[in-house]
Chains A and B, each alone.
Chain A
Amino acid sequence: MIDQETQERLQVNTDGDAGPYLMVPLEQVPAIRAVLQQHGIAHSLDQDAVQFDDKPIIALINFGRGTDPVRIQQLLDAA
Chain B
Amino acid sequence: MPDPVLAADIATLQADRVRRLNDLHDDYEQTRKLWKMLRADVQRYGKHVTFHNPMTGTRADAVQLAARTGAVLRRLNEQTFKDVIAQFELFASDLLRIWLTAHVALIEGKALSIKTLFGSNSLQDVRQAALQEAVESTILKRAYGRPADWFRYLGEVLDRPVVSANDVNEFTEMKATRDVLEHAGGVANATYREKSGRNARGNVGAALEVGDAYHTAAFQLIRRIVDAIAKAAIAAA
Partner-B contacts on A (CB < 8 A): 6, 13-19, 21, 23, 46-48, 50, 52, 55, 58, 60
* A15 with B70: CB separation less than 8 A: yes
Docked pose: A60 CA to B44 CA in angstroms: 12
* B70 with A47: CB separation less than 8 A: no
* Interface size in chain B (residues, C-beta < 8 A): 18
B98 at the A/B interface (Cβ < 8 Å)?
no
List 25 interface pairs A-B (beta carbons < 8 Å), by A numbering: A13-B43, A15-B67, A15-B69, A15-B70, A16-B67, A16-B68, A16-B70, A16-B71, A17-B70, A18-B69, A18-B70, A18-B71, A18-B74, A23-B40, A23-B44, A46-B36, A48-B32, A48-B33, A48-B36, A50-B36, A50-B40, A52-B41, A52-B45, A55-B45, A60-B36
Residue picked from A13, A17, A21, most chain B C-beta under 10 Å: A13
* A18 with B36: CB separation less than 8 A: no
Smallest CB–CB gap between A12 and chain B, Å? Answer: 12
* B70 with A21: CB separation less than 8 A: yes
Known: A47-B212, A48-B33, A50-B36. A23 touches B43 (CB 8 A): yes
Residue picked from A17, A19, A47, most chain B C-beta under 10 Å: A47
Q: Which residues of A contact B69 (CB under 8 A)?
A: 15, 18
Docked pose: A52 CA to B47 CA in angstroms: 12
Docked pose: A46 CA to B70 CA in angstroms: 12
Q: Which residues of B contact A55 (CB under 8 A)?
A: 45
Docked pose: A55 CA to B211 CA in angstroms: 29
B37 at the A/B interface (Cβ < 8 Å)?
yes
* A17 with B71: CB separation less than 8 A: yes
Q: Which residues of A contact B41 (CB under 8 A)?
A: 52
* A19 with B33: CB separation less than 8 A: no
